[in-house]
Amino acid sequence: MARTAGDDDDDGPPPAYAAQRGPRRDPRLKDLGISCMLNTEVAALLAVIRRRPDPYSYLPPAVAAAEEATFAGLISSLKALRGLLFQPRHGAWRCSDPSTYLTPFLDVVQSEEAPPAATGVALSSVLKILRIDVFDECSPGARDAVHAILAALTNCRMERFADAGAEEAVLLRVLQVLAALLRARAAPLLSDSSVCTAVNTCFQIVQHAAGSRSSELLQRTARHCMHEILQAVFARLPDIRDGDGDGDDPAVLGGGSGAGFGARCMVDVFSFLCSLLLNASDMVATPDGQGAFTSEEDVMLFSLVLVNSAVELGGEAIGKHAKLLRLIQDDLFYHLIHYATEYSPLVLSMICSTALNLYHFLRRFLKLQLEAFFMFVLLRVCGGANGPQLQEVAVEGLISFIRQPTFVIEMYVNYDCDPLLRNVFEEVGKLLCKAAFPAAPGPMTPVQLQAFEGLVSMITTIADNVEVDKAPDHDAYAVDVSEFRLFWTERWDSSGGGGGAGTERETWVDFVRKRKLRKKKVAIAANHYNRDQKKGVEFLKLCHLVPTPPEPRSMAYFLRYSPGLDKNKIGEFLGDPDEFNLKVLKEFTETFDFTGAILDTALRTYLEAFRLPGESQKIQRILEAFSERFFEQQTTGVFATKDAAFILCYSLIMLNTDLHNPQVKKKMSEEDFIRNNRAINDKKDLPREYLSELFHSISTNAITVFSTSAAAAAEMTPSRWADLVKRSRAMEPFTPCDFKHKLSREVFVAVSGPAVATLAAIFDGADDEETLNQCVEGLVSVARIARYGLEDVLDEVLCCLCKFTTLLNPYATTEETLFTFSNELKPRMATLALFTIANRFGESVRGAWKNVVDCLLKLKRLKLLPPAVIDPDGGGGGRGGSSERPGGQGHRHRASTSDAGGGVIFPATHRGAGTSRHVSGMIGRFSQFLSLDSGGESLLSVGSEFENNLKIIQQCQVGAIFKESGKLPDEALQNLGRALIFAAGGKGQKFSTPIEEEETVGFCWDLLALLVSANLHRFATFWPPLLDCFNAVSQLPLFSPCPFAEKAIVALFRVAVRLVSAAAAAAPQRAVDTRVSEELVFKSINMMWKLDKEILDTCCEAISESIVRLLTEHAGGVQTPLGWKTLLHLLTVTGRHPETFDQSVAAMVKLMSDGGAHVTRFNYAAVIEAAFGFAALKISPLDVSTRILELMAESVNWLIQWHKSGYSDPGNSAGFSGGSSSSASSSSASSVEDASRMGNLAANMFIKLAEALRKTSLVRREEIRCQAVFELGRAFNLAAAGDLDLGPAGCLACFNLVIFAMVDDLTEKTLEYSRREGAERETRSMEGTLAAAAELLADVFVLLLPTLAQAPGFRTFWLGVLRRMDTCIKCDLAAGGGAGVMLELVPRMLKRMIMEMKAKEVLVPREGDELWEITHIQIQWIAPAVKDELFPE
């Protein structure tokens, strides 16, 4: 609402001029109101002027007339104004000349005769006119009016007021009018000089109020008015058009078009404020009446408040005006740095606030100034160099900077990545870590708490900005510097980046990262150079920091700008007379800019870069180079020649030594110095004033010629500041930037080590919930950053959290650990944070999986793990595996149900890249969740301690680590699996009882099976390294194979079931991977049972169950020979037990009875071997053994079928026959096209069958032996009937390896039993089997005779047949005393064989053929009864 004319609140704010709302008002009514207001003010002023001191006393007429004459002029002007107020005018008051109604009031203000009361009333009237905006900038005569008001205020004489109270009242009104004038709508019409006059007038009142010990009200009002005037002036700066401010153009400095005051007055006002900082000591009141302020600190605070206000209102517009900006760059920042540590914490706080505002608005122009402020003020004071009070304020100021959204990344990019500047961000980060680190036990100090808060804020800022939707590959973070660049002077050229804006920004990121890498390598090179100069140069070449061979300029930049380089080494190198060193010296000197500098300042700057060597010739060479550079850049023309500069430089060095060396007793005087330097300037004298100034400068401030101490660099000297200002003119400007992913990651790398150590130490020592929460938030933020290629940092975080869980304390008993976990907040928070990070960022965890697994096992021993961790329904990790579901549908259902159950940590989002800061938000509620106070509404506020602990562990979602491990990369997955294997092997574990050991090992293998189940698709990739761990585990000192191998083989069979079942449904293109995976798992199974063969007996039921399931349900998925061999071998071994025999033999019979659907030429031998095992088993019933033997004989049909089909396996997977990963199988499959190989392969498989039947013929049970002999003969008959081509060699092999061996073994057995007492029955039984075997020999001989006759060794073979016949008769004689059956059987068989040989013309008398003769001779010995019949004379 617009202010009315009747308002008389002089202390209120100025009215806002705005259009009136509501129904439109007649403008004449507003003008009438102004007229009434002015009439009232005139009447009041006339009344005050006419008022007598004592209205009741008599005043003679003459005296009264004299007094009336004194005020006649004032009264007449007021009366004239009153006569004009209500006369008709041609326009509104706003269109009238303000001098018409202002002049009478201003005359009273300036009048020396007017009483104080009248002056006060007149000032109140002017104030009211200004506040209600009777006129504005468009009113005619407004410019003259505002200047007239200011002139009246300036000319108001206070000396005439004898009463201090009256004087103070008038001064208060003057201040109010000044403030209102600068805030009025016509204020822009004031000139620059008028604004300066207003500021000066107000400051005089401030001084007067402070010096005359006026009331507190006047002092505060004067300072407040000064503040308001500054605000009104600088608030206009953003509206003034851009200008450099360097010239005298009033259009530029005054705002353009003569509009009124502009940047010029602001420059003068700001310069005045800076002078207040510089001359604060002169403003303090002294006994002789000089000064006005009570203390220097009062002056500093007063000026800093005004400066801060000016910067806040001017904002970024200050950067558009060069003179204002230069005041800040050159003067203000120097004062801020200089006075920051000399006064109270309040002054330092104001300085930090001012610096923060300057950073916020003008950092693009203050790169070096900000660096100096951080290095010389904040970092130094935060380090505690100036006491704890200032340290606390400095830390607060530093945290204010850190809270700026882009401060962290901007500091890193502009300073840490700039080779010419200090690592400001790294220094800030390390200082926060050092200040926050708890040096001693006990509560944290305020400084530590503040530094800790700043550290967490910094890490959280980086974490919030580092995240990306898809994390780059690990190699994408690598930076390669493969070529030399003079990067010290290199700048980013935005026009040089190719492509669009996106490419350009990425190129800038790469440019910054390479600069930082080079800067790091330069620091390393400096370290090498300090120890060995040659090694340092070689390292520079190796890292492409200097060319090969080095050139002078690059070497000079290395010496000039390398941090940490030994200044002695630099000086010695520069002073060396070698030609290359002289060139480097010249280039080194040219890196300095001495333009406009006086000689001693330039010399100080030059000698701060190195330590001047002690040898005079080296000093001479260095000073010559300096003198030449200074002479070239001198602007005053003092020196006529460079020799004059060189001589004076040498003279200054000598003067410095003379004046400041305590060993010199007689000091050089000024006259001596001037006399010593006569006629050196081309035979003329240098100006005496110039030499005198140099003398006094050296005498008051020594040049540190030979000092290597860092103390000299701790102060910002005027010469150092002058050099900084000069460098800032040519320095690359500050680059405002936002966070980029790769840069954000590298920002954290700079402080990762100290940050993690500090957070861990604070968490270890803290007890209050808030600090613990902040620590956990910080550690989780570290994990959010470290997930991007910083695996070592993430491992360190997890190791720290494992330690804080107290679960791994080797000295605590189980009861103590459980008590601590149940009753202390810290272990539970650490546990929850540990598994949260492992779940969220497991893809980047490497070695820390071991610690995580150890904590998990400890929780298992404490019985705190819920059963859902190993979920047999969904995870496939449950023991027994009887509830396996293809595809893991049960697992997914249960996982989603668990996630929906209100988990504190895990929302229903995936744990990959792109995790937002809700992770830390969840962590922030740890204490609320974990609080066990009965009065709170915690989730854990009900139930026993054990139940509460279980609820906490349930929130950890431990099972998700394994069930969702399919998202882990191979390396992380292998590390997790390796940790589980070594834990199962007992590494790092201590077991109190064998039961505990068995449960722990079994739990590890359950988790490993669960892990494999989630990663079946890449089993072939991640399992081989784990397979190598088995050998390493077996070599552990305390390795116990019994529980390890026992639990391992059961778990591995569950894995095999999943792999084989998945292989059956796999796509053909994945056939190779599935075969490799199958070989790996069965290789692992074989390794396990070979560690301890007794486990095949102890775990027979579980193993047999898995094998039976594989053979009955998933036999088609077994695709490797190793898989079949392992399965069938272990089936026979475990089937020896009565409890497993039935299911095992049933599976065997089913496999062989299914028409050979799953039997192939690759697993045929294993099938036959397994069948033999069951057939020969003692506990096998007769009908079972008989059935198996029949199936074995009938398997010849499979051989015939494969032989006829070219060895492809009908009814079986084609991939098995052609793509086995076994090299032997591959070579066999590739050669089956060779006809000769076909026969050999058939013979080999048939011989395998025949050998199995032969071995069965040796068992103790007669029925089985006879059945085996019978089935062997049947097999030969089937082979002959099916045209199975065994070939001559194959037929001979059948006799040599099978039939002959069987007859020999049975003969030996018969003789063995005959020698035993009481074994007549066994002897007769064995004789019967031998007779059957002998008869089989004859039958097969007759059957295969055509083929056998073609063999080249038939003669030898036939002798073997005769020898077996002879042995049978002798055995019969020895065993039965001549009453055996062999005496009858052998002649008959011989007769049959010889007659067949004759019929086939194999045995015929031929000349030169010994077969007839040999047979004739042998028959005489073996069966003389049939000799005549077979060989008649």
Whole-angstrom distance, CA of residue 558 vs CA of residue 574: 12
Give, rounded to a whole angstrom, the gap between the first and last alpha carbons of the chain: 157
Dihedrals phi, psi of 1349, to nearest 5 degrees: -65, -20
Q: Assess contact for 430 and 754: CB atoms under 8 A.
A: yes
Whole-angstrom distance, CA of residue 1198 vs CA of residue 671: 125
Residue 713 DSSP one-character state: G
Q: Which residues are bridge partners to 284 per DSSP? A: 293
Q: Which residue, chain included where needed, has tokens 């004071």? A: 381
Closest CA relative to residue 408, chosen from 746, 774, 794: 746
Whole-angstrom distance, CA of residue 609 vs CA of residue 557: 12
In Å, how far are 1100, 1146, 1395 from 1107, measured between CA atoms?
Answer: 10, 12, 52
Long-range contacts at 1027-1030 (CB < 8 A, ≥ 24 apart): 1027/1080, 1027/1083, 1027/1084, 1027/1087, 1029/977, 1029/978, 1029/981, 1029/982, 1030/981, 1030/1084, 1030/1087, 1030/1088
Angle between helices 1300-1314 and 1235-1256 (to 10 degrees): 10
Q: Assess contact for 359 and 370: CB atoms under 8 A.
A: yes
Whole-angstrom distance, CA of residue 997 vs CA of residue 232: 81
Spatial neighbors of 743 by CB under 8 A, at least 6 apart, are 409, 412, 413, 509, 512, 513
Whole-angstrom distance, CA of residue 1027 vs CA of residue 981: 10
* Residue 199: burial class (beta carbons within 10 Å; 0-12, 13-18, 19+): buried
Task: Indicate if the alpha-carbon torsion angle 360, 362, 365, 371 is positive or negative.
Answer: negative
Residue 878 φ/ψ region, left for φ over 0, alpha for ψ in the -120 to 50 degree band, beta for the rest = beta
Whole-angstrom distance, CA of residue 1412 vs CA of residue 1397: 11
Dihedrals phi, psi of 1427, to nearest 5 degrees: -65, -50
Spatial neighbors of 41 by CB under 8 A, at least 6 apart, are 105, 121, 124, 125, 128
Which of 615, 715, 1094, 1410 is catalytic? The answer is 615
Whole-angstrom distance, CA of residue 865 vs CA of residue 874: 17
- Lookup: tokens for 40: 């009232």
Closest CA relative to residue 387, chosen from 415, 424, 353, 348: 348
Residue 316 is a catalytic residue: no
Long-range contacts at 41-44 (CB < 8 A, ≥ 24 apart): 41/105, 41/121, 41/124, 41/125, 41/128, 42/78, 42/81, 42/82, 42/85, 42/104, 43/82, 44/121, 44/125
Q: Assess contact for 1109 and 1068: CB atoms under 8 A.
A: no
Express the helix, strand and coil content of the chain in percent, nearest 5 each: 70, 0, 30
Dihedrals phi, psi of 308, to nearest 5 degrees: -60, -40
785-805 burial code (b ≥16 CB/10 A, e <16): bbbbbbbebbbbbbbbbbbbb
Query: Quick check: helix, strand or coil at residue 735?
Result: coil
**Degrees to nearest 5, angle at CA 607 with 603 and 612:** 125
Q: Which residues are catalytically annotated?
A: 615
